[in-house]
Amino acid sequence: MASDKYTTETITSVRVWTPKLFSVRTTRHPDYRFTPGQFARLGLRRADAQAKDGSGWSTVWRAYSMASGRDESELEFYSIVVPGGEFSTEFARLGVGDSVLVDTTAYGFLTTDRFQTGQPDGHDLWLISTGTGLAPFVSILLDPKTWTDYQRLIVVHSVHAAQELVYREEIEKLASGPLYQRGGAQLLYLPVVTGTALPGVLGARIGQLLETGQLEAAAVPLDLQRSRIMLCGNPDMVSSSRKLLAARGFTTSRRNAPGQLAVENYW
């Protein structure tokens, strides 16, 4: 199917993490460009007798963060299955060889260039997510520039159950891999599991961990000069964390008013 608004890509592999979580890799059009942290608009075609154009088909579109590196030859997406969800239940049914439409433009501002102000950058990059909100941070962690721009990368991934700590192995491997060897940043991976108490694992909601100082105690203190913070995922986590951080002077980074925060809500 040809269009200048989207390309038709093919699924090359599917990784099922749990019955509700999966990752999909697709072909990538050679002209598709994105900055790590951005999201694609994905479309799924389905038979629709009511289609307004009389074609018998309609397309459901949803935003999905890229979980693959800037220069990889394929795209990767990490998805939840929302019970009854129009897009995600259909996405979960697809397999190798099936088609996904990808809008030709990549969107979003959850990118580390938000923090480049002409001043020396902060030294610590905090990547704080809930659930599938980890996806853009995987892409950011695969970018060599992240490892040279920062001295510390602190990845906080909050989930309900330990088996939802997807990408854990991949992230932990990065801590001593080639990107680390070239760039030198120290990576700290902090899993948070809220559904069951696990020894040695943080177990409260991110807002509470921020409020009580537990998150900083497990990593390094937050500091207006040193820290740059990205928040992604559940809107409750994003708004409660943002409020707590605002009370300590952290502000959202904007083109004409550089700050320390960048956020993205998934719904």
Ligand X SMILES: Cc1cc2nc3c(=O)[nH]c(=O)nc-3n(C[C@H](O)[C@H](O)[C@H](O)COP(=O)(O)OP(=O)(O)OC[C@H]3O[C@@H](n4cnc5c(N)ncnc54)[C@H](O)[C@@H]3O)c2cc1C
Smallest distance from ligand X to CB 131, Å = 5
Q: Give 22 or 124: the residue with its C-beta nearer to ligand X.
A: 22
The number of angstroms, rounded, from the C-alpha of 195 to the middle of its chain's C-alpha atoms is: 22
Stretch that binds ligand X, among 9-17, 50-58, 77-85, 118-126 (CB under 6 A): 77-85
Among 6, 22, 34, 78, binds ligand X (CB under 6 A): 78
Do 194 and 159 contact (CB within 8 A), yes or no?
yes
Type of residue found at 234: N
Q: Is residue 19 near ligand X by the rule CB under 6 A?
A: no
- Does 150 contact ligand X by CB under 6 A? no
CA 220 centroid distance within chain: 22
Binding mask 31-70 for ligand X (x = CB under 6 A): --------x----------------------xxxx-----
Q: Tokens at residue 222, please?
A: 């937050």
Is 87 a binding residue for ligand X by CB under 6 A? The answer is: yes
Closest-CA residue to 136 (of 22, 237, 231, 210): 231
Contact predicate 96/11, CB 8 Å: yes
| Closer residue to ligand X in complex, CB, 91/147 | 91
Dist CA 229 CA 259 (whole Å)? 10
**Positions that interact with ligand X (CB under 6 A):** 39, 62-65, 77-80, 82, 85-89, 108, 131-132, 135, 264, 266-267
